[in-house]
Structure 1
């Protein structure tokens, strides 16, 4: 013969089943007494027995949560003591590692002569894997710290860590630095054309065939960058100026990559001079690996990636300054 358990008995059983055996009897006795007192108080106010029992048990809430309170067991992966440290570290790693992995894999694939589709797919898969590993292992470390009750103090806050208030516009010193850099770039182009950077040789590095029309595009971009720097200094960053900055950066990247990939950027005589200066071993190494990339092709890939990284950072920096300014 079986008996039907009451709601109270079922509730207490669900609460104590996850507790350590040595504590179950004490918790059971405590719950029975407290529930009985609460039901008795409602009965004195005129409630029906069934309604009073349901109301009391509903107020106690989920028995799993109640049991966690008795067992002093957290019901979260990462608590407030470690949460901010976990979140800051995770954001920092996600901002750096996947980008480095993507760039490194793409660079290696490009140097090895892989097809464009393979370069893109392999790089994205590697970056995605890096993201998953970062999220999993970083979270796992902090979950272990939380569950083991670690007393380790990580990234303890103090007043010295308050960030400085920064102006997201362009200061006078930044404007001067930008104009000086652009002036040096223009001067270097003229020096390369008429004097050359090879000691004792009037040998330009850039292909002389770029003059005057091809190089005029670069000079136009330099002038546009100078005007842009002045405008940003006077008005501060905005969405429109961030778009202009993006367009200018991409225009410079396109100019460089089109000429670099077409073999029209570097002076052929300069390459011949480098091969001769490097000796037979250098020349043989370049010629023997011509189909697989060769010395010059590897250098071209490195230059292209370097320019792309610089352009990418310039674009991201402009948009970050715009977003920060819009929030203030």
Structure 2
């Protein structure tokens, strides 16, 4: 005897259920379908039409079976979604950039070509993004299915602190104090000295930087001060101030990196004094490390990486503040 539509529907529903549930669900479904069909027959529908209408109303057997088994049909549901989303965003900000920076730093120390550094770092960064998304999502998908502890209940104690206005007096004062301290440190190094050898002042910065490159440095510092004052006067960041801030950050990074790469930033007398006072072991380490670049090449690469990181954050932060200010104005 050929199986009816009802038999086929019930079989499709219970086949994915655990054995101890199948018989109970089969009986429950058969009873509910029969009752629903009978109600339609009493309204004058034919048997075939009534059966089809009832089964169509029940929907996909797989969805119905998931309801009986209490099995989620979504990857990550509302219980864990916000926790997953916040963690994923945080990790995507931190992990790929950190790994890319580490790879680029290592290749730079080993004196790899610029194209290889960029290509390798970008490739590794893309791979890390894929892995972070996959593994974080997999963990939360498993939590969704195995149960585990429920997500913590949200309370007002978890509200973020109010963001400090970037155009506040404290921000302006802090910026001007930092810039002033930078100028003071450069002047102190030149005329009073941080390092004194045999009673003589030995500047850390290359004496050849005076006066041309120091005037360039002074111009960048004054430009940064002007941007800080402009932001304070307008009470907000704008596209103009963010652009000016980015240009100044790029200019400082470009000049600094060029001076580092050409050996014009650090006073060679300081390097010679370090080698001399470090003895033969230090000198040997300098000759043998970093693929003929020496330990000073490693220090130069680290200094350059720090400058790039600081300047990149400075430029990004200006545009971030400008975007927030634009959003507040729209609101």
Q: TM-score, normalised by structure 1?
A: 0.91
Q: Is the 8 A contact 2:290 2:298 kept in 1?
A: no
**Between 208-217 and 251-260, the greater mean CA deviation after superposition:** 208-217
Unpaired segments of 5 or more residues in structure 1? Answer: none
Counterpart among 169, 178, 191 of residue 194 in structure 1: 191
The answer to whether the Cα contact below 8 Å between 1:195 and 1:203 also exists between their aligned partners in 2 is no
Partner of 2:248: 248
The DSSP-based 3-state class of the residue aligned with 1:242 is helix
1:94, distance to aligned residue in structure 2 (A): 1.6
Provide the secondary structure at the position in 2 that maps to 1:249.
helix
Q: Which residue of 2 aligns with 1:224?
A: 223
Partner of residue 210, structure 1: 209
CA RMSD of aligned residues (A): 2.1
- Partner residue, 1:164: 161
Q: Deviations over 1:147-195 (max 9, x none)?
A: 2221x24444222111123244321111101101111111222222223
Matched residue, 2:145 = 147
Of the three residues 69, 78, 81, the one matched with 2:76 is 78
Q: How big is the shift at 1:216?
A: 1.1
Query: How far did residue 289 of structure 1 move?
Result: 4.7
Q: Deviations over 1:278-311 (max 9, x none)?
A: 2233234324558521021111101000111111
**Does the CA-based 8 Å contact 1:242-1:319 persist in structure 2?**
yes
How many pairs were matched up?
325
Give the match for residue 320 of structure 2.
Answer: 320
Residue 185 of structure 1 pairs with residue 182 of structure 2: yes
Matches for 1:1-328 after TM superposition, within 5 Å? 3-150=1-148, 152-199=149-196, 200-235=199-234, 236-289=236-289, 292-328=292-328
Q: Structure 2: state its 5+ residue gaps.
A: none
Q: Give distance in 2, aligned partners of 1:50 and 1:241.
A: 74
Q: Which moved more, 1:284-293 or 1:16-25?
A: 284-293
Return the alpha-carbon distance in structure 1 between the equivalents of residues 246 and 287 of structure 2. Answer: 39
CA distance in 1, matches of 2:40, 2:150: 47
Q: Is the 8 A contact 1:178 1:226 kept in 2?
A: yes
Question: Structure 2: how far apart are the matches of 1:6 and 1:107?
Answer: 69
For 1:37-66, what per-residue CA distance to the aligned partner results, in whole angstroms no more than 9, with x for missing partners? 223333333444433333222221111000
Contact 1:90 1:135 in 2 (8 A): yes
- How far apart, in 2, do the equivalents of 1:325 and 1:10 lie? 62
Are the structure 2 counterparts of residues 12 and 288 from structure 1 closer, same or farther at C-alpha, using a change threshold of 3 Å?
Answer: closer
Q: Distance in 2 between matches of 1:292 and 1:83?
A: 51
TM-score by length of 2: 0.90
| Structure 1 residues 326 and 42: CA distance shift in structure 2, 3 A | farther
Q: Deviations over 1:111-161 (max 9, x none)?
A: 1112222222322233333323322332232233222221x2444422211
Please, which moves more after superposition, 82-91 or 272-281? 272-281
CA distance in 2, matches of 1:79, 1:184: 52
